[in-house]
Chain A
Amino acid sequence: QKEVEQDPGPLSVPEGAIVSLNCTYSNSAFQYFMWYRQYSRKGPELLMYTYSSGNKEDGRFTAQVDKSSKYISLFIRDSQPSDSATYLCATHTGNQFYFGTGTSLTVIP
């Protein structure tokens, strides 16, 4: 079983839409969860990290963790064309991080 599962998309939305990106994970021992954004031919860039269950908000981005269902989400409000990228969820145990496959998002002007 993969540590982190993520729908690869692609996802295409109009500018201004609310975007919902989701992942599931397998190990209930995971406590730290991250979302990375990756532009084409670039390294992943940390967007947000959260600990345990609950919500964390940063500007237009909200990360949500539901440990009871092993489900993590990233919401993007008022999406912009510059948000077009691949979004990767990640978690870690010890010194090793596990990434989802990434969801490709295109925001259409």
Chain B
Amino acid sequence: EPEVTQTPSHQVTQMGQEVILRCVPISNHLYFYWYRQILGQKVEFLVSFYNNEISEKSEIFDDQFSVERPDGSNFTLKIRSTKLEDSAMYFCASRQGGYGYTFGSGTRLTVV
């Protein structure tokens, strides 16, 4: 069964450092998303991406965040200057159309 692949599974970074979280969506999917889940809290929408541009973003997705689809397969989330409160599980998701996402297993980001 096709999967959304995320790397790394766990990233530890120092406050103020830049991090790039990587995702390989399912190959024939058209819509791409980043969500985050702070420990013990709900899954929160960050950004959606379609046709090589951001289609929607939440208030969380401020100027410190950016997304890119540098080639036909990867989809990345960059956090420019990490803060302690950025520590969370970050989930990439994709869908072809319809109403169901396929999520990756997530990247656990720990900012120290």
**Interface on A for B, CB 8 Å cutoff?**
32, 34, 36, 41-46, 49, 88, 92, 94-102
Given A94-B56, A101-B41, decide whether A43 and B99 contact each other with a Cβ distance below 8 A.
no
A-B contact pairs, 18 of them (CB 8 A): A41-B108, A42-B105, A43-B4, A43-B93, A43-B104, A45-B103, A92-B99, A95-B50, A95-B55, A96-B45, A96-B56, A96-B58, A97-B45, A99-B42, A99-B44, A100-B42, A101-B41, A102-B42
Chain A binding surface, main DSSP class: strand
Contacts of A102 in B (CB 8 A): 42-43
Say yes or no: is B48 at the interface (Cβ < 8 Å to chain A). Answer: yes
Say yes or no: is B70 at the interface (Cβ < 8 Å to chain A). Answer: no
Q: How large is the interface on B (under 10, 10 to 19, 20 to 34, 35 or more residues)?
A: 20 to 34
A96 vs B61: C-alpha distance when bound (angstroms): 13
B41-A41 in contact (CB<8A) = no
A84 vs B104: C-alpha distance when bound (angstroms): 20
Contacts of A94 in B (CB 8 A): 56
- Chain B residues numbered 79-112 whose CB sits less than 8 Å from any CB in chain A: 89, 91, 93, 99-106, 108
A67 vs B102: C-alpha distance when bound (angstroms): 26
Say yes or no: is B31 at the interface (Cβ < 8 Å to chain A). Answer: yes
When C-beta atoms are compared, the residue in chain A nearest to B3 turns out to be A43
A33 vs B58: C-alpha distance when bound (angstroms): 20
A59 vs B45: C-alpha distance when bound (angstroms): 30
B101-A97 in contact (CB<8A) = yes
Given A41-B106, A43-B105, decide whether A99 and B99 contact each other with a Cβ distance below 8 A.
no
A43-B106 in contact (CB<8A) = yes
Contacts of B100 in A (CB 8 A): 34, 46, 49
Given A96-B45, A99-B43, A101-B41, decide whether A42 and B106 contact each other with a Cβ distance below 8 A.
yes
Taking a contact as CB atoms closer than 8 A, the residue among A34, A42, A45, A88 that contacts B99 in the complex is: A34
A43 vs B106: C-alpha distance when bound (angstroms): 6
A92 vs B48: C-alpha distance when bound (angstroms): 13
A44-B43 in contact (CB<8A) = yes
Can you add 15 more A-B contacts, CB < 8 Å, to A101-B41, A102-B42? A32-B99, A34-B99, A34-B100, A42-B105, A43-B103, A43-B104, A44-B101, A46-B102, A49-B99, A49-B100, A88-B43, A96-B56, A99-B42, A99-B43, A100-B42
